[in-house]
Structure 1
Amino acid sequence: MRYILNRLLVAYVRDDMSNHISWMEFPALGGDGEAEGEPKSDLAIWCGRKEDCPSHMLDRPPVWLASVPYMPYIGRRARGRMPKPETLADLDAAVLLQCAAYERWPAVSAWNLIVRSRRQGVVRVQSPDLLHELVLGGAGVALLPAIAHKSNYNLVPLPEPFGQFFPVDVWLAVSDQRRHEISVKRLAALIADHFATKQNGVLSR
């Protein structure tokens, strides 16, 4: 997901040097959970549930952009220490790496069920970037977007254990006060068009 958005941002900034953009991590999940004092963004993009829309963007329903398929990955550095998991039972020999946001994603419930059933052999992190680095370092198995290996050879996809992708919904919301500004409307349209192309590892309706 981060890879897709970063490419979009590069294209947008190159096209218009008049932009003034703060590209930041989503501060919290859900309107009630937003951190006090956090800057109010003009746009928000997130994976998972529609209900996790920021509170200052609730005037209109969020827009569904696409579904990003996720699948398990292992780092190439881990392959010397453990065999490539090919069944769900094989995952018992691997440490499972879990991002906190996944716990709120209905689409990955089968993965979450296995993680929750573990009494040991689980590492939970808040940051998707840290999760990515842990997989690359060979620390264990984690869910990542199904195009992750295309940008890094050291990420090895594991399609066999579950035999399917986990399609995670991606949502877009715009600030109630800023939605009519030309720059905001333009960026929102660019984001929607980017996902609608079906060429960026996403699934559109």
Structure 2
Amino acid sequence: MALLEPAAPQDGTSYRPLSHGRETWLAQAGTLAMVDPEVIGYFLTCARCGCFMQAARRLNIKATLLRKRLAQLEEQLGRTLFSYQGNGILLSREGLQLQTHLVAQAHERRLPVIEQPLIRLAVAESILHDILGRDLTALLRRNASVRLEIISIDSELSLQSVDADVVLWLSAADSSAPGPGFVTQPPRALACLNYLPHIAKRYSRLTTRPDSVDDLADYMLVQWQPDQQVEALQPWNTLVQERLAAVVRVHAYSLMLEMIRCSACIGLLPRYMSCFDRGLIALPGLLAESMQRRVWMAVNADVRHPQEVEMIVELIVSTFEGRRDWFD
């Protein structure tokens, strides 16, 4: 296989074969012999990804460390291998030669793909959407090699039937924490949630805001259907069930939030929602009875990958600790 070099280096879009009789810097004895094979793998991953950040995620190392190792490679070879274009990277002429040489000589030493353990995380849907979603996204941005299955729990039936390594669920605040259907380590209470009707600020002035059940007659109510079976939320559920008009029931949690934000509906949400979305405001005092639920976390008693599971547990605990003011 012939080595390739740019015919028009200024745009890097056209190539011609190197002359077979022409020596290149790569043909010199020992040019690559002293290079760490791991660094060669770093170089090839960057060449494929065209982005330091994506390559770092693929390799599960920090981007700063990756840049440092590749800078050392350039210094060791005495060549510039990359050029920068915005947030991406392009191979220089020497970088293209190195990449082609490794392929041609069958010396492409890809880092071995190590199978990552699959960790199953089951979470109450509202908790996943409001509290954990952002931190889980941040985890995946940092580490693209994680294998994580996220299971949404929206009812007691789904909690009983789920099979996972880590489970977060909601129960009545005064219950003894009935958990999933499999054996777990002792469950841990993470937070107590108070529930209140909410409305979007844009649709409610302070002077006209409803402050009694009778005032709700002028508003449409929206209910997330899974909450209909929750005994702890019975005061609200009774109010919705008695409605003969101006009520909408939805099966998607995100759709309920959208209807509150954009359709002047009033819906039942945890009190922390005004911290999560500054455009929503709670309406205390509408219902005489308080509505509370507790967030529980438990780890499967039969954990096969304790280190990876502990990483998820630490993330969850840190998330709740960091939002402690949401629940106080």
Q: Which moved more, 1:16-25 or 1:136-145?
A: 16-25
Q: What is the aligned counterpart of 1:8 among 135, 140, 164?
A: 135
- Identity over aligned pairs, percent: 26
Quick check: 2:228–2:237 contact (8 Å CA) kept in 1? yes
2-structure distance, mates of 1:130, 1:146: 18
Which segments of 5 or more consecutive residues in structure 2 lack a partner in the other structure?
Answer: 1-126
Quick check: 2:131–2:319 contact (8 Å CA) kept in 1? no
Are 2:170 and 1:47 equivalent residues in the alignment? yes
Residues 180/155 of structure 1: CA separation in 2 closer, same or farther (3 Å cut): same
Deviation sequence 1:65-92 (CA, Å, 0-9, x none): 2112221111245448xx4211121112
Quick check: 1:4–1:200 contact (8 Å CA) kept in 2? no
1-structure distance, mates of 2:147, 2:156: 25
Residue 195 of structure 1 aligns to a residue whose secondary structure is: helix
2-structure distance, mates of 1:165, 1:4: 22
Q: 2:246 matched to which residue of 1?
A: 121
1-structure distance, mates of 2:146, 2:278: 34
2-structure distance, mates of 1:192, 1:151: 18
Q: 1:155 matched to which residue of 2?
A: 280
Structure with greater contact order relative to length (CA < 8 Å, sep ≥ 6): 1
Q: CA deviation at 1:13?
A: 4.1
2-structure distance, mates of 1:44, 1:16: 22
Residues 30/147 of structure 1: CA separation in 2 closer, same or farther (3 Å cut): same
More helix by share: 2
Residues 162/7 of structure 1: CA separation in 2 closer, same or farther (3 Å cut): same
Residue 142 of structure 1 aligns to a residue whose secondary structure is: strand
Quick check: 1:67–1:169 contact (8 Å CA) kept in 2? yes
Residues 194/79 of structure 1: CA separation in 2 closer, same or farther (3 Å cut): closer
Residue 65 of structure 1 aligns to a residue whose secondary structure is: strand
Quick check: 1:85–1:160 contact (8 Å CA) kept in 2? no
Q: CA deviation at 1:170?
A: 0.9
2-structure distance, mates of 1:61, 1:122: 41
Deviation sequence 1:83-124 (CA, Å, 0-9, x none): 421112111222221112222333322212212222333222
Q: 1:19 matched to which residue of 2?
A: 146
Quick check: 1:67–1:170 contact (8 Å CA) kept in 2? yes
Q: Which moved more, 1:25-34 or 1:40-49?
A: 25-34
Which segments of 5 or more consecutive residues in structure 1 lack a partner in the other structure?
Answer: none
- TM-score of the aligned structures, taking structure 1 as reference length: 0.75
Are 2:268 and 1:143 equivalent residues in the alignment? yes
- TM-score of the aligned structures, taking structure 2 as reference length: 0.50
Bigger radius of gyration among the two = 2
Are 2:320 and 1:195 equivalent residues in the alignment? yes
